[in-house]
Amino acid sequence: MERFQHYIDGRFEDGAGSFESLDPATGQPWAVTSMADAGDVDRAVRAAARAFRAPEWAGLTASARGKLLFRLADLVQQSAPELARLETRDTGKIIRETSAQIAYVAEYYRYYAGLADKIEGAHLPIDKPDMEVWLRREPVGVVAAIVPWNSQLFLSAVKLGPALAAGCTVVLKASEDGPAPLLAFAKLVDQAGFPPGVVNILTGGPDAGQALTEHPQVAHIAFTGGPETARHIVRASAVNLAKTSLELGGKSPFIVFADADLDSAANAQVAGIFAATGQSCVAGSRHLVQHAVKDQMLARLKAAAEGVRIGAPEAMETEIGPLCTSRQRDRIQRIVDASVQAGARLITGGKPVEGAGFYYPPTILDCSGAPDAPCVTEELFGPVLSVVGFDDETEALALANATNYGLASGVFTRDLSRAHRMIRGIHAGIVWVNTYRAVSPIAPFGGHGLSGQGREGGMAAALDYTTVKTVWLRTSDDPIPDPFVMR
């Protein structure tokens, strides 16, 4: 069995507890992983708070912080094959995707390395002749970063990169499901030369998460996960009044008009719902298609779903691996069954793959007769596509917006004017037109409503980890006039 420890205050150590990580492809234990309790969390936050003030970090120039991040980026790139192996082993995410994604994670660190010395303050043209007034952009303090089990390295890079560029220190809690790649990444942080306590990485469940989010020394909570956990976190932040940024789930519409390139749309829809075995926050899980081409699209999607190669996640040819947990597989099955009962028509899939491991096949449900079926309204976080037909643009928009989520969306059409009308009308943080599931460190990412608040990526994310200090400097040598009058 492989072993994974916590990284606190520059040291690798065991947590108060430990647990066995299961290989989702076999359901068998493969690693022993540390599990943090509230005491471990407290030590990590205190270490981060000390490091935040210590000259080894607080005294670094922004360019020096950038250089550390560049070094980290290079190490991530060099270690991408090993990190990909671990993520695939611990979460079941296919090696094809983890290899590509982790190599790209290095670009996120590079982007924020380059941004570190471009976080500028401002000088104000103040309305008083004997004053200089300027704004300093200062790091907000200790950041509590919490990530879910899908794409832990990627989802932590979008927090660590901007937080460290801004000069914050971080306690990063990996998910208790699939934490191995993040705990291994801690070695790269150490190797890059960040001073002790600047980055602390541990894993644990809801108790550790609660202790972290209500800790009095935490200034900002950056969370990715589900809306129910987000509610706990917002309540916990009532204790320390920390700022929160929340990247939550989605029920994203993928809209196909009759004039679209249907082959391209089908391929993008496959990427949008079956890639990562559907365990993607931006999964285009609601396929809204104009009636005139619904049968054609269904035929294409069914053929694609039935042709997907399901197999061992570490095999390069595999396209769908297991789900991360048996809990997740069972939940998907419950929602699919309830949807069929509610009138959805099963086109393909719909039952777990027999044998070992937490496999679930690509599943398509025609929900035109049951637009309120649970598979249309609830996030499944699995390879399940719900199809609903529409007549015209107005109906497409109404269906697209009939959700409290607002993360991503896709529109497929060759009509430029219609594309623009749809872009304006869709309530979502991301609109992809004639493409889907494209990301970049340069482009902000996030949603609203049940999909959260705040944006990751881009300069705005780095600014989010700063606070503004207003400085007033009097330039006159004359005595201060009337002290009882505000100037």
Q: Are strands 286-290 and 253-256 parallel, antiparallel or unpaired?
A: parallel
Residues 402-421 interacting with ligand NAD (rule: CB under 6 A)? 407
Name the nearest CA neighbour of 454 among 235, 121, 269, 220: 220
Asked whether the beta carbons of 148 and 178 are under 8 A apart, the reply is no
Nearest to 147 by CA among 245, 240, 43, 42: 245
Percent of the chain as helix, strand, coil, to the nearest 5:
40, 20, 35
Choosing from 92, 139, 141, 148, the residue that interacts with ligand NAD (CB under 6 A) is 148
Q: Which of 33, 34, 200, 229 is close enough to bind ligand NAD by CB under 6 A? A: 229
Q: Which is nearer to ligand NAD, 47 or 281 (CB)?
A: 281
Question: 237 or 363, CB closer to ligand NAD?
Answer: 237
Does 201 bind ligand NAD (CB under 6 A)? Our answer is no
Backbone angles phi, psi at 19, to 5 degrees: -150, 165
Nearest residue to 169 via CA among 9, 276, 19? 9
Closer residue to ligand NAD, CB minimum distance, 92 or 148: 148
Pick the closest to residue 441 from 138, 141, 139, 155 (CA basis).
155
The residue (of 166 and 461) whose beta carbon lies closer to ligand NAD is 461
> How far is it, in rounded angstroms, from Cα 487 to Cα 472?
12
Phi, psi of 48, rounded to the nearest 5 degrees: -65, -40
**Shortest spacing between CB 312 and ligand NAD, in angstroms:** 23
Residue bearing tokens 């995707």? 97
Phi, psi for residue 395 in degrees, rounded to 5: -70, -40
Closest CB to ligand NAD among residues 158, 265: 158
Give the C-alpha distances (Å, rounded to integers) separating 79 from 8, 71, 75, 156, 471: 21, 12, 6, 16, 44
Question: Which is nearer to ligand NAD, 425 or 449 (by Cβ)?
Answer: 449
Candidates 18-26, 208-216, 299-307, 410-418 — which segment interacts with ligand NAD by CB under 6 A?
208-216
- Taking CB under 6 A as the binding criterion, the range among 15-23, 225-233, 330-338, 354-362 that sits at the site for ligand NAD is 225-233
Among 149, 274, 390, 432, binds ligand NAD (CB under 6 A): 149
Q: How far is the CB of 211 from ligand NAD (least distance, A)?
A: 9
CA distances to 56, 175, 182, 456 from 322, rounded to whole Å, are: 44, 18, 20, 28
Q: Is residue 226 involved in binding ligand NAD (CB under 6 A)?
A: yes
Q: Is 146 in the site for ligand NAD (CB under 6 A)?
A: yes
Q: Is 379 in the site for ligand NAD (CB under 6 A)?
A: yes
Q: For residue 209, state whether it binds ligand NAD (rule: CB under 6 A).
A: yes
List the interface residues with ligand NAD, window 230-269 (CB under 6 A): 232-233, 247-250
Based on the shown chain and the rule CB under 6 A, indicate whether residue 383 belongs to the binding site for ligand NAD: no
Q: Is 381 near ligand NAD (CB under 6 A)?
A: yes
**Distances from the Cα of 486 to the Cα of 480, 482, 483, angstroms:** 11, 9, 7
β-bridge pairing 11-13 and 6-8: antiparallel
C-alpha span between 402 and 432 (Å, rounded): 18
Identity of the residue, 149 or 465, whose beta carbon is nearer to ligand NAD in the bound complex: 149
| Total of chain residues touching ligand NAD, rule CB under 6 A | 28
Neighbouring C-beta atoms of residue 346, cutoff 10 Å: 15
Give catalytic status of residue 247 as yes or no: yes
329-368 mask for ligand NAD (x: CB under 6 A)?
Answer: ----------------------------------------
Considering the candidates 97, 247, 314, 319, report the single residue annotated as catalytic.
247
Site for ligand NAD in 154-193 (CB under 6 A): 155, 173, 175-176
Query: Any idea which residues carry the catalytic annotation?
Result: 247
Residue numbers of the site for ligand NAD (CB under 6 A)?
A: 146-150, 155, 173, 175-176, 205-206, 209-210, 213, 224-226, 229, 232-233, 247-250, 281, 379, 381, 407
